[in-house]
Amino acid sequence: MYEECGIFGIYPKDLKTNIAQLSYLGLLALQHRGQESAGIAVGSRKNILIYRDLGLVAEVFKKDILSTLNGDIAIGHVRYSPKDSNSWENSQPILQQFAGGSFALAFNGNVINKSELSSVLARCGKNFNGSLTDSRLICRLIEATKEKDLEKAVQKAVKQIKGAFCLVILSEDKLIGLRDAHGFHPLVLGKIKDGYVLASEDSAFSIIEAQYIREVQPGEMVIIEKNDFKTKQVFPSTRKSLCIFEYVYFARPDSNVFGENVAEIRERIGARLAIEQPANADIVISVPDSGRFAALGYAHQAGITYQEGLMKNPYISRTFIQPDQALREYSVKIKLSAITSIVAGKRIVMVDDSIVRGTTSRKLVKLLKRSGAKEVHVRISSPPVNFPCQYGTNTPDREELWTNRFSIEKLRQWIEADSLSYISLEGLTGVFQKNKPADFCTACFCGRYPL
């Protein structure tokens, strides 16, 4: 079950700080990573308290709830669930007993050897009713180690897992952060007052005035205790497989992911796209917000004016949240509208980050043409998504991925664009300064799965 999510953890040593409120702010800054459910767990010497529910962070946490969440350490979670798995039971963090007491856990990623691990647990006498989410599975694996020491229990458990995972775990006196050996998804470490913060992205740091320290390294576990900060390499550092889709779509532009700023990378991708796939046009527009920085880069490189030709209703959450195709099509219309006076009579380059099912591009080309656009040239700042992600990003099955079934020309006809083209994989992986092309997982584009 794919769980592309946002995770957060905080252990300040100044106990006057209201950690539930800081976690709330951190989660607000990670909201783009998941809008289905939100939760915060707080730990103190006495107990662990968790509050989680379906909805956006601001809907779930009212002032009176935050004020009841008192403790010394906190973790938080926002969840982006796949179709049909949006239920309260699947929200996080979750609480688990183990030989040494109890802990709460929040997870981002996807376990690929889940059925194998479930059978191992079943053989230990642990049977489950219904499906087991990846996060629950990891909790049960930790419990099944029978270790009293949480660090040792976590290490033993995660060594059995194949897949992509970032974890934050709290006990009554410890905060643990961990990233899988390949480092598919980001997890960063920051400093606040005398303590530390962990988050999927550092956009969660600036909001609480925490300072970025560094990334948690692939395979590294960080353990934050009251008077101590330790780090352990749990997995040997093998080949990195950084998720390139974090840059294409998922992460926030102001975040620094895998050491490089997302907005800058998107602008460079856009510039590269303009070199590879030029178009004769009067203006460049973006599909807001996902295509904005790539469109800016494209316009700058091509020497064509950038304009905001489409307007997004900021109160409608992401398209993919709609459970079926009929509703999804409707939601594109309520989410985006054209600014007629800008687009009418123009030859337009419309830049978006990706085409998955093609619904968004098809609706937008129609909308622009109905608003008087003379030509619409669609430019995509990632290569065709041909393969489903196995490591956490919510992508449909192969049959639903357009470019897997049809040619680009067929897709162009279906979306009724005057031209359609994508950046090449080499172009995309070539724009980075700190990471080499081989450091990335590009399985959704090329089908070479690192695990």
253 contacts ligand AMP (rule: CB under 6 A): no
Is residue 5 annotated as part of the catalytic site, yes or no?
yes
359 contacts ligand AMP (rule: CB under 6 A): yes
**Residues 5, 139, 389, 444: which is the catalytic one?**
5
What is the secondary structure of 114-143 as a DSSP string? HHHHHHHHHHTT---SS---HHHHHHHHHH
215 contacts ligand AMP (rule: CB under 6 A): no
Query: Of the listed pieces 47-55, 125-133, 338-346, 388-396, which binds ligand AMP according to CB under 6 A?
Result: 388-396
360 contacts ligand AMP (rule: CB under 6 A): yes
- Distance in angstroms (rounded) separating the CA atoms of residues 208 and 24: 10
Query: Of the listed pieces 94-102, 148-156, 347-355, 415-423, which binds ligand AMP according to CB under 6 A?
Result: 347-355
Pick from 249, 293, 387, 432 the residue near ligand AMP by CB under 6 A.
249
Query: Of the listed pieces 12-20, 309-317, 355-363, 418-426, which binds ligand AMP according to CB under 6 A?
Result: 355-363
- Describe the strand order of the beta sheet including 347-352 as a list of residue ranges: 305-306, 283-286, 347-352, 375-380, 419-422
Pick from 186, 38, 174: nearest CA to 108: 186
Encoded amino acid at 177, one letter: G
Contact positions with ligand AMP (CB under 6 A) in 294-313: none
Alpha carbon 159 to its chain's center: 23
Residue closer to ligand AMP by CB (options 365, 373) is 365
From residue 318 to residue 337, the character string flagging contacts with ligand AMP as x (rule: CB under 6 A) and all else as - is: xxx-----------------
For the bound state, the minimum distance from the C-beta of residue 72 to ligand AMP, rounded and expressed in Å, comes to 35
Pick from 352, 379, 411, 432 the residue near ligand AMP by CB under 6 A.
352
Residue closer to ligand AMP by CB (options 72, 353) is 353
For the bound state, the minimum distance from the C-beta of residue 235 to ligand AMP, rounded and expressed in Å, comes to 26
Pick from 331, 354, 435, 442 the residue near ligand AMP by CB under 6 A.
354
Angle at 444 between CA 263 and CA 314, to 5 degrees: 45
72 contacts ligand AMP (rule: CB under 6 A): no
Query: Of the listed pieces 96-104, 161-169, 188-196, 350-358, which binds ligand AMP according to CB under 6 A?
Result: 350-358
- Distance in angstroms (rounded) separating the CA atoms of residues 264 and 425: 18
Q: Hey, what are 32's tokens?
A: 């783009």
372 contacts ligand AMP (rule: CB under 6 A): no
Residue closer to ligand AMP by CB (options 82, 259) is 82
261 C-beta neighbours (distance < 10 Å), count: 17
Residue closer to ligand AMP by CB (options 8, 249) is 249
Pick from 290, 301, 331, 429 the residue near ligand AMP by CB under 6 A.
290
Pick from 358, 372, 430, 437 the residue near ligand AMP by CB under 6 A.
358
Q: What DSSP character marks residue 428? A: H
441 contacts ligand AMP (rule: CB under 6 A): no
3-state helix, strand, coil in the chain (%, to 5): 35, 25, 40
Residue closer to ligand AMP by CB (options 53, 289) is 289
- Distance in angstroms (rounded) separating the CA atoms of residues 268 and 118: 44
- Distance in angstroms (rounded) separating the CA atoms of residues 126 and 139: 12
What is the secondary structure of 134-177 as a DSSP string? HHHHHHHHHHHT--SSHHHHHHHHHTT--EEEEEEEE-SSEEEE
- 72 prior amide bond cis, ω within 30: no
For the bound state, the minimum distance from the C-beta of residue 179 to ligand AMP, rounded and expressed in Å, comes to 20
What are the residue ranges of helices labelled H in 191-335?
203-206, 245, 262-276, 292-302, 325-335
Residue closer to ligand AMP by CB (options 202, 353) is 353
Q: Are 276 and 423 in contact (CB under 8 A)?
A: yes
Query: Of the listed pieces 117-125, 159-167, 268-276, 348-356, which binds ligand AMP according to CB under 6 A?
Result: 348-356
- Distance in angstroms (rounded) separating the CA atoms of residues 179 and 200: 10
Angle at 67 between CA 63 and CA 72, to 5 degrees: 135
429 contacts ligand AMP (rule: CB under 6 A): no
156 contacts ligand AMP (rule: CB under 6 A): no
194 C-beta neighbours (distance < 10 Å), count: 11
Residue closer to ligand AMP by CB (options 51, 245) is 245
143 contacts ligand AMP (rule: CB under 6 A): no
366 contacts ligand AMP (rule: CB under 6 A): no
Spatial CB neighbours of 388, under 8 Å, sequence gap ≥ 6: 395, 396, 397, 398, 401, 444
Count residues contacting ligand AMP (CB under 6 A)? 18
Contacting positions for ligand AMP (CB under 6 A): 249, 287, 290, 318-320, 352-360, 393-395
Instruction: Please list the active-site residues.
Output: 5
